[in-house]
Amino acid sequence: MLVGMYYNNKKVEVEELPIPEIGDNDILIKVIASGICGSDVLEWYRIKKAPLVLGHEVAGEIVETGKNIRHLKEGDRVFSTHHVPCEECYFCKKGHETACEVFHTKNNFTPGGFSQYLKVSGKSVHTGTLLLPDTMSFEEGSFIEPLGTVVRGLRAINIHEDDTIAILGCGIAGLLMLKLARAKGVKKIIVTDINEFRLSSAEKFGAIKALKPNESVEETIKEINEGRLADKVIVCAGSLDAARQSLRLVERGGTILFFAVPNPNEVVEIDFTPFWRNDISIKTCYGAAPIDNKIALELIDKKIIQVSELITHRFGIKEIQKAFSIAVSGEDCLKIIIEPFGT
């Protein structure tokens, strides 16, 4: 089978690997659609494990099941995710499933989603694989994981209809945050990004203002929010500048969500006194638990969140380097889907 082997952002090569052999408790998926995630092109994060086959936003068709698998069968259309929590440890029982050690260390995909066939093992077969409704395309199914992370993020900060929200960075995560917040009834949403195409996309999807980070963001928020800053600030850009700006944009009693963070060893200096005096919360969010993915599937299935309009590019596996190059540049690009059996 063909795979996209990642060495670095400028070297993602088409190689051949044997189709994985499954065990009694595994399933084999023919991958139909696999999205490129922002984390896939986060080179500092990925290169330390290279070479490897990336891809974790996966939808496809089951072509083989192990003899102990009863709840899934050949021909089933499914979504699957590579990391799932153990659901038994202290953190899982406290509702912090994505802090679970199993979630962080156990990868249940072989070799990865940018391949023609994918072996899924472990708990990913049971709590990480969901049947796709007949009305849902494979492309839509590939959005379940990224939308699941957004579901978890907004759950963590408990948004309300009357909140004023600032989203810093409107790549796919930021745009999904925007769409989900709008679906929850929030009207006053301001977004920032350095990319004109993403800003225009954010306006199309319901942002009341879309600005570059240096364009009087604080003043604009106050104009919209009757002289106040943002109730919720969501950082979806992994930059030091965005992290620092978020601290200046949050109102008393508000919350900052670090959905994306700066690079390792980049330090944000914080004077905690205003936060202490003003009842400001700082939250973080990473990944999605099984419940978040189930909610995401329902949101997509019911067309509450339209995801197909976020797709700007589709490539076959043989063009995976071109796909990565476009994803890295970010020019006129939102979501890129890899179709391993496409031309």
In the prediction, which pLDDT does 274 show? 86
Give the pair of three-digit tokens for residue 339. Answer: 């179709």
| 188 assigned to some structural domain | yes
User: Reading across the β-sheet that carries 250-258, which strands appear in turn?
Assistant: 209-211, 188-192, 164-168, 230-235, 250-258, 281-284
Which residue intervals of the chain are DSSP H helices? 43-46, 90-93, 101-105, 138-141, 144-157, 172-183, 196-204, 217-224, 240-249, 272-278, 290-301, 320-329
How many domains is the chain built from? 2
182 in the same domain as 279 = yes
Whether 178 and 226 map to the same domain: the answer is yes
Beta bridge partners of 235: 168, 258
Give yes or no: residues 40 and 74 share one domain.
Answer: yes
Residue 163 and residue 103 share a domain: no
- Assess if residue 298 is contained within a domain: no
Same domain membership, residue 219 and residue 157 = yes
Which residues lie below 8 Å from residue 319, measured CB to CB, with a gap of 6+? Answer: none
pLDDT class for 42, splitting at 50, 70, 90? confident
Structure confidence at residue 84 as a pLDDT band (50, 70, 90): very high
| pLDDT surpassing 90 at residue 50 | yes
Buried b (16+ CB within 10 A) or exposed e, 74-97: eebbbbbbbbbbbbebebbeeeeb
| Calpha distance 330→333 (Å, rounded) | 5
Residues in contact with 90: Cβ distance below 8 Å, sequence separation at least 6, in sequence order:
none
Percent with pLDDT over 70 in the chain: 100
Mean pLDDT of all residues in 14-27: 98
Residue 169, SS3 per DSSP:
coil
299 in a structural domain: no
pLDDT beyond 90 at 44: no
Q: Specify whether 162 is located in the same domain as 123.
A: no
Look at 34-43, 59-68, 251-260 and tell me which has the smallest mean pLDDT: 34-43
For position 320, what pLDDT does the model report?
A: 97
- Domain of residue 174, CATH code: 3.40.50.720
Mean predicted confidence (pLDDT) in 325-335: 94
In this structure, what CATH number is given to the domain that contains residue 31?
3.90.180.10
- Does the pLDDT at position 113 exceed 80? yes
For 70-78, what is the mean pLDDT?
A: 97
Is residue 300 in some structural domain? no
Q: Could you tell me if 116 and 244 lie in one domain?
A: no
Same domain for 171 and 83, yes or no, is no
Q: What domain range is 208 assigned to?
A: 153-284
With a pLDDT cut of 90, the percent of the chain lying above it is 94
Say if residue 44 is exposed, middle or buried (CB neighbours under 10 Å; 0-12, 13-18, 19+): exposed
Is 297 among the domain residues?
no
Q: What pLDDT, on the 0 to 100 scale, is given for residue 263?
A: 87
Domain membership flag for residue 295? no
27 has a pLDDT exceeding 90: yes
Q: Closest Cα to residue 173, out of 194, 204, 149?
A: 149
Summarised one tens digit per residue, pLDDT across range 142-198 is: 999 999 999 999 999 999 999 999 999 999 999 999 999 999 999 999 999 999 999
Report if residue 323 sits inside a domain: yes
CA distance 281 to 177: 19
> Same domain, yes or no, for 161 and 139?
no
Predicted pLDDT at 186: 98
Cβ(135)–Cβ(41) under 8 Å? no
Distances (CA, A) of 256 to 34, 37, 217, 277: 31, 23, 16, 16
At 338 the pLDDT is 98
pLDDT at position 343 over 80:
no
Q: What is the DSSP string of 87-122?
A: SSSHHHHTT-GGG-HHHHH---EES-SSBSEEEE-G
Taking residues 122-147, what's their average pLDDT?
97
pTM above 0.75, yes or no: yes
**98 within 8 A of 287, measured Cβ to Cβ:** yes
| Residue 291 counted as domain residue | no
